[in-house]
């Protein structure tokens, strides 16, 4: 029997090799996963159109147009913002130099040596700030360097997304744990993207309006930065508030800078810390510590794009390494934000609501003499309208006995 210490060492060595290889092809992994996430986000539209009677080619065309539309709008917004940033910031270079001189003079009064003052003066540079902001905003726009590859991958994924449900149904016959894990990943990713996008847009609009009222230059750019950094867990708010606060300091002094920080704190705390978690629920289900470590790891591995995609990437790794193996449920408990499973009472309430909805749909179908809906071919996570409330999304009829929350959230089969 192989000693446990040897198994651990071999596993650690394998992880190092895999991580080194992933970092070497980060230019490929980042755009590929970005394409997958976009297709997962818009895939429910295809299933909805099919249930409305649209032909398969038309639904596929709509998905392709939606995917390309999302990419074009995002790229155009980021490119315009970066161009405005490069034009506007150099105008404040003299004011920034004066502010740096004041700071270094104050530090000299407290006995800081000339070498340390020179290092501090070099670090307080508007050009470096512009570079950091440009790296964050340009991490997504930089996908244009792999534009042909990205567009082709988006096309192929969009065309094949219609059969994902059928593929998972076949997988479930032989490997139910794999099917359930992938279903849960797609559902959780879609819920996370939906809620984060909606509340990110709300925060961006509120921040833009507040900055415009206070007369901060480039208010629209900072609003877009708030939207992008909303996808960065834990530290996204800090990254989003620093540039407008510094610009407020250069244009209006300390009072305006403090006002910007206070307004950002109030708006972002209310929306992101109080309201948004109630809507995300257990779609992510990761503890704060795990989320922060994942952010640092993926940002180091894939760059700024890895920070933006940290949560979906972590959910995929959890699905492939933890959820598919019943013996690894102990790891799921350590990764969750709470040690307990989701509240059973809430699941039962959602199940009763779904049952009433299905009965109404069933009566309507009988009155029209229509046949029940065919199984959905959506990307996993979206149950068909005619599905019973006891059937988890992405499962076949033979999986009815497997546990389901009844609220549209797939449950992993118990071991």
Q: Residue 238: CA atoms inside 13 Å, Cβ hemisphere, count?
A: 3
CA 106/CA 347 separation, integer angstroms: 60
Mean pLDDT of the chain: 74
Q: Among residues 234, 241, 227, 228, which one has the least CA distance to residue 297?
A: 234
Backbone angles phi, psi at 69, to 5 degrees: -65, -45
Q: Per residue in 215-229, pLDDT tens? A: 988 888 899 888 988
> 47-61, 114-128, 208-222, 309-323: which range is least confident on average?
114-128
Q: Which residues contact 183 (CB under 8 A, 6 or more apart)?
A: 168, 380, 381, 392, 393, 394, 395, 410
Summarize pLDDT for 90-101 with one digit per residue, the tens. Answer: 777 666 667 666
Q: Is the pLDDT confidence value at 313 over 90?
A: yes
Question: Do residues 199 and 274 lie in contact, with contact meaning Cβ atoms separated by under 8 Å?
Answer: no
Token representation of residue 273:
């810390």
Work out the pLDDT band at 344, boundaries 50, 70, 90. very low
| Phi, psi dihedral angles at 385 (to 5 degrees) | -65, -30
pLDDT category at 285 given cuts 50, 70, 90 is confident
Q: What is the pLDDT of residue 240?
A: 87
Give 144: exposed, middle or buried? Use CB within 10 Å, 0-12, 13-18, 19+.
Answer: middle
- In this structure, the chain runs to a length of 415
Give 194 or 284, the one with higher predicted confidence.
Answer: 194
Local structure of 337: helix, strand or coil = coil
Mean pLDDT of 319-347: 74
Which 3 state secondary structure label does DSSP give 371? coil
Q: Quick check: 388 pLDDT over 80? A: no
In this model, does residue 243 exceed pLDDT 80? yes
Can you spell out the DSSP letters for 216-236? -TTHHHHHHHHHHHTTSTTTH
Whole-number Å distance between alpha carbons of 233 and 229: 8
Q: What CA dihedral angle connects 215, 219, 220 and 225, to 10 degrees?
A: -170
Asked if the model's pLDDT at residue 380 lies above 50, the reply is no
Contact 310, 294 (CB under 8 A): yes
pTM over 0.75: no
Neighbours of 415 (CB within 10 A): 9
Measured distance CA(154)–CA(156) in Å, rounded: 6
Measure the N-to-C terminal CA separation of the chain; round to a whole number of Å. 25
The answer to whether residues 236 and 230 touch, using CB atoms and an 8 Å cutoff, is yes
pLDDT in the model for residue 286: 82
Residue 374 pLDDT greater than 60, yes or no: no
What's the confidence (pLDDT) of residue 233? 84
- Give the number of other Cβ atoms within 10 Å of residue 243's Cβ: 22
């Amino acid at each position: 029997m192989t000693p446990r210490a040897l198994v651990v060492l071999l596993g650690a060595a394998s992880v190092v090799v895999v991580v080194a290889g992933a970092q070497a092809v980060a230019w490929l992994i980042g755009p590929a996963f970005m394409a997958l996430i976009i297709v997962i986000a818009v895939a429910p539209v295809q299933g909805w159109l099919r249930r409305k009677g649209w032909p398969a080619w038309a639904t596929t065309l709509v998905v392709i147009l939606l995917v390309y539309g999302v990419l074009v709008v995002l790229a155009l917004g980021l490119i315009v913002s970066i161009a405005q940033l490069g034009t506007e910031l150099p105008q404040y270079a003299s004011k920034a130099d004066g502010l740096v001189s004041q700071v270094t003079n104050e530090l000299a009064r407290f006995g800081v040596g000339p070498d340390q003052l020179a290092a501090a003066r070099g670090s307080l540079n508007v050009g470096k700030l512009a570079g950091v902001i440009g790296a964050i905003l340009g991490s997504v726009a930089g996908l244009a360097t792999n534009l042909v590859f990205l567009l082709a991958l988006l096309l192929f994924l969009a065309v094949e997304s219609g059969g994902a449900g059928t593929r998972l149904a076949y997988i479930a016959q032989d490997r139910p744990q794999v099917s359930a894990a992938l279903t849960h990943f797609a559902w959780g990713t879609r819920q996370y993207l939906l809620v984060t996008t909606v509340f990110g847009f709300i925060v961006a609009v509120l921040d833009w309006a507040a900055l415009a009222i206070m007369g901060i230059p480039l208010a629209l750019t900072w609003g877009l930065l708030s939207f992008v950094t909303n996808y960065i867990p834990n530290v996204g708010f800090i990254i989003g508030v620093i540039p407008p606060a510094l610009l407020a300091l250069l244009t209006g002094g300390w009072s305006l800078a403090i006002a910007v920080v206070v307004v950002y704190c109030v708006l972002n705390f209310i929306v992101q810390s109080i309201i948004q978690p109630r809507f995300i629920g257990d779609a992510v289900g990761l503890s704060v510590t795990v989320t922060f470590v994942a952010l640092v790891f993926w940002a180091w591995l894939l760059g700024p794009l890895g920070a933006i995609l940290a949560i979906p990437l972590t959910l995929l790794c959890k699905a492939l390494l933890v959820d598919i193996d019943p013996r690894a449920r102990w790891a799921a408990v350590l990764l969750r934000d709470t040690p307990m499973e989701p509240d059973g009472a809430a699941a039962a309430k959602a199940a009763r609501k779904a049952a009433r909805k299905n009965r109404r749909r069933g009566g309507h179908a009988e009155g029209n003499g229509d046949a029940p809906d065919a199984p959905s071919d959506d990307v996993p996570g979206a149950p068909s309208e005619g599905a019973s409330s006891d059937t988890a999304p992405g499962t076949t009829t033979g999986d009815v006995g497997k546990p389901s929350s009844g609220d549209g959230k797939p449950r992993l089969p118990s071991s």
